[in-house]
Structure 1
Amino acid sequence: MELDLVWERFLEQLNHSETGLSAYKKEVTGIPFLYVSLLASTIGREQAEHTIKVCAAQSIKGKRLSLLMEYVREDSHLLVYRFRFLVPQEKMFCCGNLCPDCIRFKHSRY
């Protein structure tokens, strides 16, 4: 799973949304931040956050990713969020090291 492709698809959808948002990603000390410019003055923070979450959900559809979005600050028409797509913490394959939490020992639900 390539996170760069997910980010690219997400930013493309967000920048082409009908709400008039312009967004870009910037990493500071390895932490990704999402900068969102409100181009239309009629859009509020709540509507912008809803649009961001909808575009993120469309970008990760069919993948085992989740979203972490934390509001950082607002400066006139610029919103800043700490924004990460999270990969699951559980193992998805057997590494052959006989781990006690090996995926081979999990019971199938089907």
Structure 2
Amino acid sequence: MDVNEIWDRFISLLSEEPGIIAAEWRKSAGIPFLYLDTVSTDRKEIEQKIKRCAVRAMRGKRLNAETIFVRSGKHEWVYRHRFYVPQEKMFCCGNLCSDCIRFR
């Protein structure tokens, strides 16, 4: 699994969303940023579109997505967005955790 393929699919899905004019991602200092040009000025609506497209791009993969608002202009939005593999326990610690390796 290549994360660049996930990013490409994610950006293409975002670009097809109604209300989003342009979407691109760039890395700055090793941190991926998502740049959006939109028609809408509603932050919740934009974040719902990002979440919906991220879920569709990750379908069938064991990934999580994290999106953090950075700044906005008139119709420009910048988010720190990343796809990452969740960390899992590799042994039982004996504390009866709900995500214990024994319950698999």
For 2:37 and 2:18, the matched residues in 1 are separated by 14
Between structure 1 and structure 2, the one with the greater Rg is: 1
SS in 2 for 1:88: coil
Structure 1 stretches lacking a partner, 5+ long: 92-99
Residues 14, 21 of structure 1: 8 Å contact kept? no
Question: Over the residues paired in the alignment, what is the CA RMSD in angstroms?
Answer: 2.0
AA in 2 matched with 1:19: G
Q: Which residue is 2:16 aligned to?
A: 16
Q: Which residue is 1:46 aligned to?
A: 44
TM-score, normalization: structure 2? 0.81
Change (3 A) 1:56 1:68: same
* Percent of aligned positions that are identical: 38
- Count the aligned residue pairs: 96
Change (3 A) 1:50 1:21: farther
AA in 1 matched with 2:8: E
How far the C-alpha of 1:18 sits from its partner, in A, is 2.0
TM-score, normalization: structure 1? 0.77
How far the C-alpha of 1:2 sits from its partner, in A, is 0.7
Task: Verify: 1:86 aligned to 2:84, yes or no.
Answer: yes
